[in-house]
Amino acid sequence: MYDVPPQGGRRAVVTGASGGLGLEIARRLAGAGAEVVLAVRSLERGERAANQIREAHPGARLEVRALDLADLASVRAFVEGLVGEGRPLHLLANNAGVMRPPRRTETVDGLELQFATNVAGHYALVARLAALLTRSGDARVGWMTSSAAHVGRLDFDDLQATRHYRPFRAYAQSKLADLVLALWLAERVGASGADLASVAAHPGFVRTGLFSAGASVGRDRPRRSLLESRWLPHQEVDWGAEPLLVALTSPEAANGAYYGPAGPAGLVGPATLVRPPRRATREGVGPRLVEALARLTGVEIDL
């Protein structure tokens, strides 16, 4: 099991820290001494998660703050709160996500829900936090993607899936977009010399609430998903969180690094460096995505 190096004096934001992988990432960072902001859309679930962390680490320095990534006004308010305090921020774990709502769902900003939560919300968060991160010293942004990114396709003619909505296709597109953004940002900071690293990870297959949460969007009662069955090799959150924890905290993780499980089909096993798929590195794909996101969110990444 990966031991997070000492993080005393460092402050981290973890999105989607109310459960699943985000809670485990927050717990491990807090256990290593980082001050952790649990960025959650339900303060009640966030407080419950914070209490779970305190049970394991009574001295943990935690804060629970409201952030709904599917609402760009909420992203702006969250960042204004952090930036207004003028305190440094060293780690940003872009972890929150939603997967495969059965029907196309639109956010208050008119974006498709998976694209909004997994991509546009995190893009806006990074754009608005970039200045704070770069002046904090030795900062890292970690993007949680998925092996679904390796089969995803960016449909620049219809990023919001208004013409054909297919739940998995929209999810795979969103996770490919996260990886493209991670690599684009890495290249950008490499060129500008900003004191920031951008890294990416995928967790393999972990039986979290992700599958039923997505399947239940727009339904009166919670739905189960076939992906929750035990027929696929899977691992627990402690192992699933490792690729992003390694990317965010290992001294060996370089700007632009991409980690995932080393085991069969990348579904399970210890974290190792993974080669990004060709579709994530294709010439021009990063700038094109960033341009579209700047238009959709009204914010630019200025580095």
Ligand X SMILES: NC(=O)c1ccc[n+]([C@@H]2O[C@H](COP(=O)([O-])OP(=O)(O)OC[C@H]3O[C@@H](n4cnc5c(N)ncnc54)[C@H](OP(=O)(O)O)[C@@H]3O)[C@@H](O)[C@H]2O)c1
The catalytic residue positions are: 171
CB of 24 to ligand X, least distance (A): 8
Closest CA relative to residue 189, chosen from 138, 258, 253: 138
Q: Alpha-carbon distance 276 to 201, whole Å? A: 10
CB of 23 to ligand X, least distance (A): 7
Nearer to ligand X, 194 or 271 (CB): 271
CB of 275 to ligand X, least distance (A): 17
Nearer to ligand X, 184 or 205 (CB): 205
Nearer to ligand X, 89 or 99 (CB): 99
Q: Alpha-carbon distance 105 to 114, whole Å? A: 8
**What's the Cα-to-Cα distance from 73 to each of 27, 68, 122, 154, 253, rounded to whole Å?**
28, 9, 13, 25, 33
Within a 10 A sphere around the Cβ of 221, how many other Cβ atoms?
A: 5
Q: Alpha-carbon distance 22 to 217, whole Å? A: 20
Chain residues binding ligand X by CB under 6 A are: 15-16, 18-22, 41-42, 45, 67-70, 95-99, 117, 144, 146, 202-203, 205-206, 208-210, 213
Q: Alpha-carbon distance 255 to 249, whole Å? A: 12
CB of 44 to ligand X, least distance (A): 9
